[in-house]
Amino acid sequence: MVHDLSAVAGHSIEGNPRPGRGRESALVRLGGATGAGQWFKVSVMYRSSIVSILALAAFVSSGCDPHAAADLSAPDGTTPLVVATRNSATTWYLDQDKQPTGPEHDLMEAFAREQGWEVEWRLLDSTAEVLDALKSGQVHLAAAGLTHLPGRDAQLAPGLVHSQVVQQVVCHREDRPLPRKPADLADVDLRVTADSSYVEMLEAMAATQPTITFHADDRGSTEVLLTQVALHEQECTVADSNIVRVLRRHWPHLEVAMDIGPGQQTGWYAPKSQARIAQQSRDWHESEAGQRAFERMQERYYDYIGKFDFVDLRALNRRLDERLPRYQDEFVEAAEQTGMPADLLAAMAYQESHWDPRAVSPTGVRGLMMLTRSTAESLGVENRLDPVESIRGGARYLADRHERLPADIPEPDRTYLALASYNIGRAHLLDARKLARELGKNPDSWADMREVLPLKADKRYYPQTKYGYARGYEPVHYVQRIRNYRDVIGPAFD
């Protein structure tokens, strides 16, 4: 449950994001109940961007006041668990189907299900408002990427811990020289989110390095400040390493100048009056169900993000403008014909050929979707170098791989297995699924199959399989890269 995201009367969005990209900055007025409103500069960075802005606007207009005192009843079968969060890629956002998702969302929903509760989400637009909602007892829990700090622990009840992060100074890679040690920050225009753990860290550093100065921004979120750095509107900021890891794929010119301070834990908090729920969350996290939920969250949102490759991501972002528009309508048409998502097909095509319709490999596969001759013939593709034929043929082939898998395999695992089949061949995938069963793994789980598939290249295992040796590590790499590319490409299809 979340506050109505469709009722956004009284709010307006101005700006002119690049057509099809949805990645530029815009001005958003949050009118509130009075209609007077304030203007905020935000940036559109990932597929949920515009609806995320509307979600924020809807919350402001809903009349929720995080400063008001409250005495919440304990959640049960009829009373929901009220949870504060922020709208961001590492907490809670709406996917392309306008469905709530995100790391914090998935963990919280799993926790609530285990207790037999429904979740009522409260979307707040800053860390300060989340903390105010906790201190005033407006919510049972906050799942908003909050760092566990001694000062917060004294005022609030710590819930489960789900991540280990380090704070990082982030600047634009072209602004050389970058600050590489604390003393270098004396000459940097540094802006961070107000009431954040970054403020506490910088204040501690300034106690021994008095030349360090910074501005605490009570309007911009960490994601917005990172975007401003990427657009050369702000010199540097500080962000948690998990946030930087996700956003650098969209803004490859962001560079980590240095880590500051030791590693820290992030997780949930509850008001002191809800200490029992905080303890329940910690107990659940240690349980088998909690560990499974945590592993699913990690696999879905973080594990596939590989080592940052500036050259690759810079090229992708450039080709989003230069090449994708030529074929975008064809990806959409192929999606309508096959049921395979358009952004997934575009990400596949980028992995296969970098959207070069005349691409040819040494093994003879060619075209935008890099089809083999035999596959093309089976699909009725007469000219593999024709981008329209290639896209439609590749989409039909992926849909066939998907259809041949058991219908009860949950998504997104079924799609990842279909991609692996597209890459390595259905026969070798069937071998790997059989091997997974023999090893006590789940053949319907991509998290398990990405461990088993490489064994098709291991002489201890492949001789016992029906179809023998295969470079089983390749489909694992293939799926990982497509997932990364899809995250960046997705906004073009929103």
User: Whole-angstrom Cα distance, residue 362 to residue 377?
Assistant: 19
Hey, what are 411's tokens?
A: 């998504």
Q: CA–CA separation, 87 vs 98, rounded Å?
A: 13
Rounded CA gap, 483 and 486, in Å? 5
One-letter identity of residue 184: D
Catalytic residues: 352
The Cα 445–Cα 14 span in angstroms is 43
How many other C-beta atoms can be found within 10 angstroms of the C-beta atom of residue 108?
26
Residue 215 CB neighbours (<10 A): 12
Residue 329 CA neighbour count, 13 Å, CB half: 1
Alpha carbon separation from 185 to 102, 235, 444 (Å, rounded)? 33, 11, 50
Quickly count: other Cβ atoms within 10 Å of residue 273's Cβ.
13
Crossing angle of helices 103-115 and 275-286, rounded to 10°: 100
Mention every residue, 6+ apart, whose C-beta is less than 8 A from residue 3: 58, 59, 62, 64, 121, 122, 123
Compute CA distances 287 → 161, 282, 294, 345, 459, whole Å: 13, 9, 11, 38, 37
Residues 80 and 82: their CA atoms lie apart, in Å, by 6
Residue matched to tokens 């819930």: 159
The helix/strand/coil state of 97 is: coil
Residue 136 C-beta-side C-alpha neighbours within 13 Å: 15
Residue 363: CB atoms within 10 A of its CB come to 8
CB 140 within 8 A of CB 274: yes
Distance, CA of 126 to CA of 91 (rounded, Å): 12
Q: Find where tokens 């907490």 sit.
A: 91
